[in-house]
Structure 1
């Protein structure tokens, strides 16, 4: 009993070919990816697209969604909100049923609003400002990435335990995320006194060398114990190379609240070693926590790209898989029905338990404080990309703002609309 004959194998193969043939002939279901192919965050954009393509391919190999194949449409935003908005219109005109992506909070807020006007769900990535699911939040906007509050709380707890009563200096990019992250981390580290804990605000977009230099010289003169760089993408890479060349790491602990694999990869582990920040996911977490689907994702990514996936790829991959799962559970592409299906839905995919929280549509998940490993240790790894040691973690419910805190930020509008 239970043994299959050669004829059985042949019949199964024929059925599989028929199913795949039917899938290929069916009208595809389109989804749209907003991603920065050029500009300050182009390295993160590459990771977003890779993660999305991997999810689409897996879903199609498993039979698609509602018996139809998924098709990924992608458009460059150059990390500009106006381009992200026009891309949403393009996707909607191409009959896309969902849009996701972005590398700045301004993109997420503007594109999310436009998606709502076009009746489409928008899932934000790399958009850390509290406003995304706070003051600017609405029913059609979901955020998979963590908020500034979540990063600040895990960092604040770690720093208060291990580096108490230190003098801070902040260098921020003057945009929604930069201001949000600075305010949250000041509260979490008791560094709200700006006379003692100074700052420099750099303009959004790419910054000139003399602006970096003036900001870093000011930080050096402050004699701060901890230098917080609220920067991402090429801005962070360039400033970190200058920090390294100036020798600031020898006398100051560098904090980068939101680290990504691509930043360490592009700046180099020697430049980044010892830097402390946060990550929502690292490639070795699934193996440590015995998460089978996470391990399969890592193995597939390595097979396709000959390198480890970062949290950026994991975020895009998870969004596509979660949206497709909601469509399958709902048996519908209707945005209103999908919102109800997603709200308060708990799941496990690439890490431990996660939830799409109903009252603000924030993805609640564990957050990790990480330190960039020494270059010599990184070089021992087969891919030379084992960049992070996890030094602290916090459960999502503890890290995310409570409903009372969320409502205080919202003011009179106490529900998503």
Structure 2
């Protein structure tokens, strides 16, 4: 009898072991498969799958395979929030990430907090994501508008001092906060001297961009700042080129990615100034070996170069893996503690998850688009940018006092 009990206990233990071995860690990926930011979403998806594939080939996370469950936000905050709810309640994901617009990331992150899951914002730049709307379950890898504006403003004030600016801005959270931040760091807060035109979001048409750009042309501005992104930026740059504005104004954009540059074209992009936290050529220009390895793996697998949005998604998956392995668990509260203040280096120089607001601190690069002749020398005709300036993440980010002031203005507590 005892032998039978022992055998039965052993059999149950064996079954439990198989259950544990078969268990997976599930990541929920919320991205725009359609809509204005679909190109950004595709790069995020490709990079996320590459990271998961590499991690599983290397033994998974804590010995468990990683499974990526994807949902299309279509650029809609409501849909992003609904996806997040479903991924947590129905699919039982351990963590979520994604968002190519700040409104989507913010809405999705709030649902994740309510259901006690981490949410990593990918391409979300509005200050609010880790500022006035920030909370303890939201971590943002991508630089916020304040950081990019400070890096950009530092370069512009040195290079184009006392110039007159005209802003064309998308009328939503990211656009408005980006314009305000750039104005702050370029001493162009006087809207009478440095006027702007707002374009609708998310339903702007060519006529809207043309009207705004005609106002810019009629002004005596020397710097044209296009506070637009995704398909809106692509169309506005093409309209500006067709109007001959590149011969009259220096064009500046807050954020650029390779995908946008490819859609616009090398001739139109030439000379445009912007910022980025990462693009595929930067690891070669600045000798970041792990970044080069990512570029080569991504390019070999997909036959296209990775963009900054791809690097962000790839880095988030690896940072989640690192946090789980350091904490020894997927428990959300333990992972928050493991991430806060953590420093690491992956695809570039040192980065840190700031404990105060969960904003990732990293170097911001100011880049200028190369000539067409230089761009097409690359085998994939994708060598668009050269680094002309940079600002350390610790210098670029809001100080704790500035961050708390933003929170106070929104009626939020002085801590997450």
Same fold (TM > 0.5): yes
The 1-side partners of 2:140 and 2:324 are apart by 18
Q: Which residue of 2 aligns with 1:11?
A: none
Q: Which residue of 2 aligns with 1:81?
A: 77
Alignment CA distance shift 1:23-1:306 (3 Å) = farther
1:40 and 1:206 in contact (8 A); partners too = no
2:282 and 2:387 in contact (8 A); partners too = no
Deviation track 1:102-138 (CA, whole Å, cap 9, x = no partner) reads 0111111111000001111000011111111111100
Deviation track 1:127-183 (CA, whole Å, cap 9, x = no partner) reads 111111111100000000001011111111111111100010001111110010000
Structure 2 residue 89 is matched with structure 1 residue 90: no
Q: Which residue of 2 aligns with 1:71?
A: 67
Count of matched residue positions in the alignment of Structure 1 and Structure 2? 396
1:125 and 1:316 in contact (8 A); partners too = yes
Q: Which residue of 2 aligns with 1:48?
A: 44
1:23 and 1:63 in contact (8 A); partners too = no
TM (norm. structure 1) is 0.93
2:70 partner SS: strand
Selected match of 2:249 from 239, 243, 252:
252
2:94 partner SS: strand
Structure 2 residue 192 is matched with structure 1 residue 183: no
Q: Which residue of 2 aligns with 1:300?
A: 297
Alignment CA distance shift 1:147-1:23 (3 Å) = farther
Query: Structure 2 matches for 1:18-417, cutoff 5 A?
Result: 26-92=22-88, 93-411=90-408, 413-417=412-416
Root mean square deviation, CA, Å: 1.4
The 2-side partners of 1:402 and 1:296 are apart by 34
1:154 and 1:394 in contact (8 A); partners too = yes
Structure 1 residues without counterparts, runs of 5 or longer? 1-21
The 2-side partners of 1:296 and 1:323 are apart by 20
Measured after TM superposition, the shift of residue 28 of structure 1 is 1.7
The 2-side partners of 1:242 and 1:50 are apart by 30
The 1-side partners of 2:377 and 2:64 are apart by 44
1:23 and 1:64 in contact (8 A); partners too = no
2:60 partner SS: coil
The 2-side partners of 1:317 and 1:102 are apart by 14
